[in-house]
Amino acid sequence: MKNLFSVVFGGLALCASALGSTSASAADIPLYPTGPAQDSSFVRFVDGGTRPVDVTSAGSKGRLSLDPANPASHFFPIAAGKPIAGTLASGGAHQDVSATVQPGEFVSIVALDGTHAATVREKPDDFNALKASVAFYNIDARCAAPTLKVADRDIVLLDGVAAGQAKRRQVNPVTLAVQLLCGGQPVGQALSLGTLVAGQRYTVFLVPAGAQSRIFFANDAVSR
Q: What are the residue ranges spanned by the domains of the chain?
A: 6-122, 132-219
**pLDDT at residue number 182:** 97
Residues of the chain with pLDDT under 70: 1-38, 59-61, 114-115
Pick the CATH number of 132-219 from 3.30.1490, 2.60.40, 2.60.120, 2.40.50: 2.60.40
By C-alpha distance, which of 181, 71, 75, 197 is closest to 133?
A: 197
Residue 111 neighbours by CB under 8 Å, 6+ apart: 45, 46, 47, 48, 49, 53, 55, 66, 88, 90, 95, 117
β-bridge partners, 45? 109
The C-alpha angle with vertex 24 and arms to 110 and 61, in degrees rounded to 5, equals 45
- Per DSSP, the three-state class of 7 is strand
pTM of the model: 0.83
88-116 tens-digit pLDDT: 998 888 889 999 999 999 999 999 986 68
Domains 6-122 and 132-219 share a fold: yes
**pLDDT at residue number 93:** 85
The answer regarding whether domain 6-122 maps to CATH 2.40.128 reads no
What φ, ψ does residue 173 adopt, rounded to 5°? -75, 85
For residue 122, the number of C-alpha atoms closer than 13 Å in the C-beta half-sphere is 26
**pLDDT at residue number 41:** 92
